[in-house]
A = this chain, B = another copy of it.
């Protein structure tokens, strides 16, 4: 299963065009994080050109974290090079080699601003859509179409089936770790805490952990606290 997630989308018309593009490629699961003009948005429906059920069934969340809680693999699209440790793959290369999971989420940022670095850090994989370097800015629905058309109809990569943990289990572990670290005075000086937190989250999200492995980490944490 693949869920397309629009983060802070602005124009209802664009959300409608996204629904149409998704359904053109056979995808029906749409989530919206904090849509600027609220939801439902009447401007979305005419632009969906008949893909109304995609809009009607769209799930709405307040944060990206909540939107990916049930997903096992999170992919984020980014137009720009970021100062990040994670590698950025070209869409076609990712499409060929993407892991077979039961539930993949694909994040798309807002029309103008894209995804924040913190949001990009929530992803297991960053992808970029090849574009003309002198005119790179794609319409939102075009980006969604680009991704969906690459992964539709393709046989899944012959990678071993991984049973990745749902994101909420990872979040729960990270919160436990951070709360323990808080007690030790680890986050010092205080103004560096957000960056330190982000680095820690990045370490564990890169590991593509299973539920069993997250249990192991809880056990380690408990043991070390003794």
- A residues with a Cβ closer than 8 A to B are 17, 20-21, 23-26, 49-51, 81, 84-90, 92-93, 128-133, 135-139, 141-142, 145-146, 149, 152-155, 157-158, 160-163, 177, 180-181, 184-186, 196, 199-200, 202-204, 206-210, 212-213, 216-217, 219-221, 223-226
Lowest 8 CB-CB distances: which A-B pairs, in order?
A207-B207, A186-B223, A184-B223, A26-B132, A224-B224, A88-B158, A23-B135, A87-B160
Among candidates B84, B153, B220, residue contacting A186 with C-beta atoms closer than 8 Å: B220
Q: Are A162 and B87 interface neighbours, CB within 8 A?
A: yes
B139 touches A21 (CB 8 A): yes
Given the contacts A85-B161, A184-B223, A199-B213, A138 and B207 also touching, CB distance less than 8 Å: no
Chain B residue at smallest Cβ distance from A178: B220
Q: How far is the CB of A51 from chain B (nearest CB, A)?
A: 7
List, in ascending order, chain B residues with CB within 8 A of A141's CB: 139, 142
Q: Which residues of B contact A220 (CB under 8 A)?
A: 177, 181, 186, 200
Q: Is the CB of B185 within 8 A of A223?
A: yes
Copies of the chain in the assembly: 2
A226 touches B184 (CB 8 A): yes
Quick check: B202 and A213 within 8 Å, CB to CB? Answer: yes
Question: When the two chains form their complex, are residues A225 and B223 in contact, meaning their CB atoms are under 8 A apart?
Answer: no
* Further 16 A-B residue pairs, CB within 8 A, beyond A24-B142, A93-B157: A21-B139, A24-B135, A25-B132, A26-B132, A49-B137, A90-B154, A90-B158, A130-B149, A139-B141, A141-B142, A181-B223, A181-B224, A184-B226, A185-B226, A203-B217, A206-B209
- Decide if B209 touches A208 in the complex (CB within 8 Å): no
Q: Is the CB of B17 within 8 A of A139?
A: yes
Q: Compute how far the CA of A74 lies from the CA of B23 in the bound complex, rounded to whole angstroms.
A: 29
Q: How far is the CB of A162 from chain B (nearest CB, A)?
A: 6
